Structure 1
């Protein structure tokens, strides 16, 4: 059985009823139906036409078709396009009339696609060649400057610069493929390229599966910083997050979760904890930053900055293609189609770049201001604002004229810890030596446990290591 056949064998997201409804429709600008098996060139032209237009679906419903035949046909068609089409995995559904393959072509793909030198588009339910003017306009729209960088070979890289355990986990989760088909899968997903008879990792391959991606792309990292106040200051916690992109997303999300403040509210008769920011919105911002940044831009990485009143995620690279701040919630464009699709395969999102409107909705559901989207001279930034006074009231931040016993009332603190917090409210930071001076009769181990407990409760942040360690209010 071929690799492409196995790639298609995954749980379908379409229902049988939805597939039958598509089969009852007439062909349209966003739908192509094949009741007889097309040849690879005909299918490739249809896929390219949809990709060059606004996306859509192709339904293959030939009588008595075999899964392997449909899979091979789809794989061949995608590889006939120039550049090769990287699409979501096709779905196989068994209907009363037989087997159906459904191929989704997302909108906003970054290239202009041709088949045997002809650039196709979809109009009036038909494929037709683009006119010279249409082709010129489309080439201008689709950001020729940086689109395609992810598909270039990484100078000096070799196949063994890819982590085999990461590759194997992806391929097995994707389809359960045998080891001898791995290179074929990576080629079809844009992670390898043929450099004149030899295979080499692409930028996407190194970023997604590399043993040490930063060896080749130094700025492909996330700089995460948590400041104590609303402005940058000398009091901060920093983590430089490197590694493959999936690892960066997970570690950046963990950084936010570890450094978010939380408060409690009563709903009905139950007390529930409310985070500073909905973690699903934070995840969407991080995944989009990692997936859509311009990796051709050198010298700076993604910046994740947490302040007392907001969280900012900055990604190098201005909005790509035809996307602007005005149409951001409606338009789709993938600067890095291979990275986007593979992160989607890994379950980070259904299809990346489709979550901006979801971020707005979830923030509203949590009673928070909508995200602020900003384009800078060289990048794109998302700003999330927290609940302000509600969140501030949950943390033991200083308040002029308020007695410490009232400020920290309701927290499970001993008198020693209350004295440490009072010291912090006045001085801004406390060291182990400061605490020992406050409690000279108490053992160093007991005081260490006191401070560790305040960190575990989310009241303090620990900064530094060993003898340089100090604590600040979270």
Structure 2
């Protein structure tokens, strides 16, 4: 199914990762297929107005989506799934329900444990069920309701914004939406709900803190910049990403009158490393948070908790296992993470596209460490200049180009900068250079047409 576009699934035959159902079936009947897929390798369920794989147009697609969501809640524990999608196949509207791979729980329906085998749902034998429980280890911390937790601890503005982002039918009732996402149980917030939507995350979960540090060299020293972030997870990701983008080295070099820019790390790869750490860390581990450290030649991202389930360093690119499915699904709803868990692959692709070596992965005694190699320009600066400080000062691209030109040519004139930016007015060019003089970066030499500028 991973290689098949969702729109093509209705036309395929039932199999280990694809099941079919009719819109007149009961929720518990639909739930059998959802639980069977979840207990195997994930997949998809197609709901149409026909019987089995004999497709017919849906009478009411919205009702079919509600049927699928009700079936997911009928599973034990409730199954967290992305919002089902309406697909038009040969002019027939049908609903496709995705069941993610790598879930950490074993699911039952009315006390029965099923697994998708071939094109049917089969009961699990006692030995197979025992083996499945051992493999998945019942990692249920995010579904637990902390002692004394109340709905008042959640931020209503965050919930409203989230429900609006998800949209109907799943987002029209925020309470139902949070229940379906594993963030509420009997209107009380779970650990996942408090981490994602809590008013004060630090009160209950100080271990959810993200610590960001930047050193100038290859090793820790006494001179560094640091920030600590403890906030609802979506906001924490956004704030940490901004900090990293602001503090990683960025540089440029002039090739003739053209400027070539580079960054210390591909921003997209940094984002994947950050989001994966937040989404998949072990939040039950107290006493330490995520640590992200910028060095001159590398970025280290440490998250508490060793690799979950059956994932190992050897199979990390191929296997899927989500320690925190509720957290991952909400972050996916908000566009912060891909639900199917291909962050490692994307990280490696972004590094390769930037001409950098692959990231390395390490298990420590109590955690997981990802190391991203940095661009050599960031450390050696061959033919380039680190422009990070200039950008922090708020200089615009024209001013940075002017400073780079002066570094290489020892001087610059209004005409030089005008040739580099022919679409900009002469008055704007004059103001750019005057501002650099006022900031103490350039020194004006001469007068009128003989004027030129040098580094101060």
Is structure 2 residue 283 aligned with structure 1 residue 289? no
Deviations 1:88-111 (A, max 9, x none): 110012344532000011110110
1:239 to 224, 227, 231: 227
Equivalent of 2:156 in 156, 161, 164: 164
Which of 67, 75, 81 does residue 87 from structure 1 map onto? Answer: 81
Q: Which residue of 1 aligns with 2:134?
A: 140
Q: Specify every segment of 5 or more residues in structure 2 that has no aligned partner in the other structure, as ranges.
A: 50-55, 388-402, 408-435, 443-456
* Shift in Å, 1:154: 2.1
User: Which whole-Å deviations, capped at 9, do the CAs of 1:159-217 have from their partners, x for residues lacking one?
Assistant: 111111110000011115799822111111111112xxxx2111111111111111111
In structure 2, the CA distance between the partners of 1:356 and 1:449, relative to structure 1 (3 Å rule), is: same
Equivalent pair of 2:296/2:379 in contact (CA under 8 Å): no
Find the counterpart in structure 2 of residue 122 from structure 1. Answer: 116
Aligned CA distance change for structure 1 residues 66 and 352 (closer, same or farther; 3 Å): closer
Is the 8 Å Cα contact of residues 319 and 375 (structure 1) preserved in structure 2? yes
Pick from 170, 189, 192 the counterpart of residue 184 of structure 2.
192
CA distance in 1, matches of 2:8, 2:255: 42
Change (3 A) 1:354 1:178: closer
1:24-35 → structure 2 map (5 Å cutoff)? 24-35=11-22
Aligned residue among 268, 271, 275 for 1:280? 268
Distance 1:366 1:54 in 2: 33
- Write the deviation string for residues 256-295 of structure 1: whole angstroms up to 9, x where unpaired: 1111112225789842311110111100011010000100
Q: TM-score, normalised by structure 1?
A: 0.77
- Per the alignment, residue 247 of structure 2 pairs with 259
Aligned residues: 389
Deviation track 1:19-43 (CA, whole Å, cap 9, x = no partner) reads 6632332110011123563221121
Following superposition, the deviation at residue 71 of structure 1 comes to: 2.1
Choose which of 47, 57, 62 in structure 1 pairs with 2:34.
47
Quick one: which of 304, 320, 323 aligns to 1:332?
A: 320
Mapped to 1, the partners of 2:256 and 2:353 lie a distance apart of: 18
CA–CA distance in structure 1, aligned partners of residues 364 and 224 of structure 2:
24
| Separation (CA, whole Å) in 2 of partners of 1:96 and 1:177 | 24
For residues 22 and 159 of structure 1, the distance between their equivalents in structure 2, rounded to whole angstroms, comes to 40
Q: After superposition, where does 1:2-13 map in structure 2 within 5 Å?
A: none
- For residue 60 of structure 2, what is the aligned residue in structure 1? 66
Structure 1 unmatched ranges of 5 or more: 1-13, 398-408, 414-445, 454-474
SS of alignment partner, residue 312 of structure 1: strand
Match of 1:368, SS state, is: coil
Inter-CA distance 45–226: structure 2 relative to 1 (3 Å threshold)? same
Maintained 8 Å contact 2:142/2:192:
yes
Select the residue among 326, 329, 333 that pairs with 1:345: 333
RMSD: 2.7
Q: Does 1:372 align with 2:366?
A: no
1:103 is the counterpart of 2:97? yes
Q: Could you state the TM-score of these two structures normalised by the residue count of structure 2?
A: 0.80
**Residue in structure 1 matched with residue 106 of structure 2 by the alignment:** 112
Corresponding residue of 1:218: 206
What do residues 140-173 of structure 1 show as CA deviations (whole Å, max 9, x unaligned)?
11133xx110111122322111111110000011
Distance 1:412 1:110 in 2: 58
Paired with 2:41 and 2:279, the residues of 1 have a C-alpha distance of 21
> The residue matched to 2:308 in structure 1 has which SS?
coil
